[in-house]
Amino acid sequence: MSVFDGLKFRKVTSPVHNLDPRMKFIYVIVIFVSAILFSSIIPLMVLFVMQLPFVFVAKVQKQWVRSLRGAAFLALFIFIINIVTSYFGNNFTLLASNIEAAIALTLRFVVLIESFSVFFLTTSPDHLGLALEQSRVPYEFAFAFTTAVRFVPVLAEEAQTIMDAQKARGLELEKGNLLKRIRNYIPVLIPLIVSAIRRSLELAEAMESRAWGASKKRTNLFSLKLHKGDYALLALSIGVLVGAIYISFFVSIPTITSLF
């Protein structure tokens, strides 16, 4: 669950939080694409380090570290799978370059998690919805998306209450074999689903009584405008993308093992 903790938005103000979500998203995509372009350690290290200023300026180090810690298990999994496949693929020998490649691929995954984590940690669901809307995504979809994001913590809390209520009636979640344990969750899942449906119907009624869908075009209290910082970020994104493409096609990147 700690991966999700690392994606949860908390209201703070910082230059990074104030950036336009659309530009931040473009930047994340650029990092994403660049990470996919490279499969050696040095450029991936550069990409990893490039995110750090954002983390520190946004003051989200703690949550960011938590999201990385949450992803550690998957990262380890990727590392082991790579080591194992190259070991068996190379007639049961393991070269230093194989280990390096495995580290690089793990690092690539960490870079992807890192950039998405920074994006979600510094972008409020409201801003995200607004960005979707201003990118001509139909309001219904934008609303559904932001509502889903917003209700995750509510549902998590509700699940805890339901578990307590059933434990108080003698339910032991940790008892029995695997199949029994899965069955143990039925008394938790059914109330959770029923109450989520009930909640959504209530929300729909409440919204309709507040004139949801009364006019085709809604107005917004806030609208996103691009500022200097946003253009700077866009320029940086383009720069990184062009640089990454150039380097990956025309520059031969030394591997760590070849340096020794």
Q: Tell me the closest approach of the beta carbon of residue 191 to another protein, in angstroms.
A: 5
- Which of residues 7 and 130 has its CB atom nearest to another protein in the complex? 7
Sign of the CA dihedral with 82 first, then 85, 91, and 92 last: positive
- Which of residues 140 and 205 has its CB atom nearest to another protein in the complex? 205
- Those residues with Cβ within 8 angstroms of residue 3's Cβ, 6 or more apart along the chain or in another chain: 67, 70, 71
Using the rule CB under 8 A, is 198 a contact of another protein? Answer: yes
- Those residues with Cβ within 8 angstroms of residue 253's Cβ, 6 or more apart along the chain or in another chain: 38, 40, 42, 43, 247
Using the rule CB under 8 A, is 170 a contact of another protein? Answer: yes
Using the rule CB under 8 A, is 168 a contact of another protein? Answer: yes
Using the rule CB under 8 A, is 8 a contact of another protein? Answer: no
Distance between CA atoms of 247 and 241, rounded to whole angstroms? 10
DSSP, collapsed to helix, strand or coil, labels residue 215 as coil
233 within 8 A of 23, measured Cβ to Cβ: yes
Which residue stretch of 119-127, 130-138, 185-193, 219-227 sits at the interface with another protein (rule: CB under 8 A)?
Answer: 185-193
Using the rule CB under 8 A, is 167 a contact of another protein? Answer: yes
Q: How far is CA 172 from the centre of its chain?
A: 33
DSSP, collapsed to helix, strand or coil, labels residue 54 as helix
Q: What is the pattern of x (binds another protein, CB under 8 A) and - over residues 100-139?
A: ----------------------------------------
Residues of this chain that interact with another protein (CB under 8 A) are 158, 161-162, 164-172, 186-187, 190-191, 194-195, 198
